[in-house]
Amino acid sequence: MKRTFLFLFLFAAAATVSENLFAQGAKTKAGAKAPAKAPAKNAASAKPAAPATGEFNITGSVTGFTEGTTVELLNGQTGATELSTPLKNGNFSFKGKMERPDFKIILFNRQQPYITVFLDNSNVNITGDKATIDKSKIIGSPSHTAFEQFNNSLEPYKDVFAPDGNYDEAQHAKAMKLIYDFVVDNKAAYITPLAVIRYHQIADDVNKTETLYNMLDPKLKVTAMGQYIAQQIAEGKINGNGTILPDFAQADTSGKPVSLSSLRGNYVLVDFWASWCGPCRQENPNLVAAFNKYKDKKFTVLGVSLDKAKEAWIDAIHMDGLKWTHISDLQGWQNSVAQQFQIFNIPQNFLIDPDGKVIGKNLRGPALERKLARLIK
């Protein structure tokens, strides 16, 4: 799992970047990363956010919380507390300075749900109630307004992003065009990298994502979101679409060697995971659903585990109901196949066609379902 922008959790249509970052920040400690080595017009006009001068002043008024409740302003990427204050008569305030607009989390007594703010150096007023705190009203921040407008523009296409949404080619094409046009019209807006990320979620084509990324103003490429996109593009080109995935073989749970080539003639999702990887385990229900839906239509999964303990590996397989072939050399991050394919973060996967050609990478949640729905009738 990566320290910046693990978008496993961004597959819900209206999910926010910071929600994923906050959830990811807590899970990174689990060790799922290898050791270091409108139409566009309706979609937010996304005017450039406030310049990096001055300061932000957040004033909040909320109901339903007890007096003295701890209110924290968290870094949207790491989940680290940046500011903290007790709630007094339902009111709280924060003051500081932003180098550039970015996501922040406002958390009450370290409990979810929480408030997501795309913050800039402006005067921000927040009002809400405990029962619906994640839907609090936020005014005063041009960046947050642009964020809300962009999310609202995608609302008609929420099924395109939803894990259980039915694939609709026309809706998919409309969502792609809306996001593409938004990026073209807002190349310098700080919210625009989020649009590129959303595009990448449904494009399933790293080259298309790179085209949009190259349109961004240079100042956006150094942001956390910009760096995440660059990382996704770089990784997407390793054994990318159109290449034949090299053959390999490892022992299955019974010790019998199984090769990738033995599965030729099927669509195969080569899934890199481990029993100790929280994000992998969270993704497993999606894989189970896809496997059950398409297993009788020449689709299967080949799980490559980065476990070291055989018992934990097999227990996880049974616990999660993973009824496909599993292999491992039980060498952890030194797994020979993981080394062969430069797998430094998990979960990761490759989807290959019946001839062994890569036709998708890192397809999770709705992305995998969309791809299979198009391929397998």
Q: What does pTM read for this prediction?
A: 0.71
pLDDT (tens digit, 0 to 9) for every residue of the chain, 377 residues total?
Answer: 333 333 223 323 233 333 343 333 333 333 466 655 433 334 444 444 444 448 999 999 999 999 999 999 999 888 899 999 999 999 999 999 999 999 999 999 999 999 999 999 999 999 999 999 999 999 999 999 999 999 999 999 988 887 566 678 899 899 999 999 999 999 999 999 999 999 998 887 888 999 999 999 999 999 989 999 998 898 888 888 889 999 999 999 999 999 999 999 999 999 999 999 999 999 999 999 999 999 999 999 999 999 999 999 999 999 999 999 999 999 999 999 999 999 989 999 999 999 999 999 888 887 888 889 889 87
Pair type for strands 70-75 and 249-251: unpaired
Domain extents for the chain? 1-237, 249-375
Q: What's the confidence (pLDDT) of residue 236? A: 83
Assigned CATH for 249-375: 3.40.30.10
Residues in the chain: 377
Question: Which 3-state string (H, E, C) describes the chain?
Answer: CCCCCCHHHHCCCCCCHHHHHHHHHHHHCCCCECCCCCHHHCCCCCCCCCCCCCCEEEEEEEECCCCCCEEEEEECCCCCEEEEEECECCEEEEEECCCCCEEEEEEECCEEEEEEEEECCCEEEEEEEHHHHHHCEEECCHHHHHHHHHHHHHHHHHHHHCCCCCCCHHHHHHHHHHHHHHHHHCCCCCCHHHHHHHHHHHHCCHHHHHHHHHHCCHHHHCCHHHHHHHHHHHHHCCCCCCCECCCCEEEECCCCEEEHHHHCCCEEEEEEECCCCHHHHHHHHHHHHHHHHHCCCCEEEEEEECCCCHHHHHHHHHHHCCCCEEECCCCHHHCHHHHHCCCCECCEEEEECCCCEEEEECCCCHHHHHHHHHHCC
Cα 359 to Cα 41, 260, 299, 353, distances in angstroms: 33, 15, 13, 7
Torsion (CA) 10, 15, 16, 18 in degrees, nearest 10: -60
Cα 229 to Cα 116, 117, 207, 210, 268, distances in angstroms: 21, 21, 12, 8, 26
| Beta carbons within 8 Å of 317's beta carbon, 6+ residues apart | 253, 303, 326
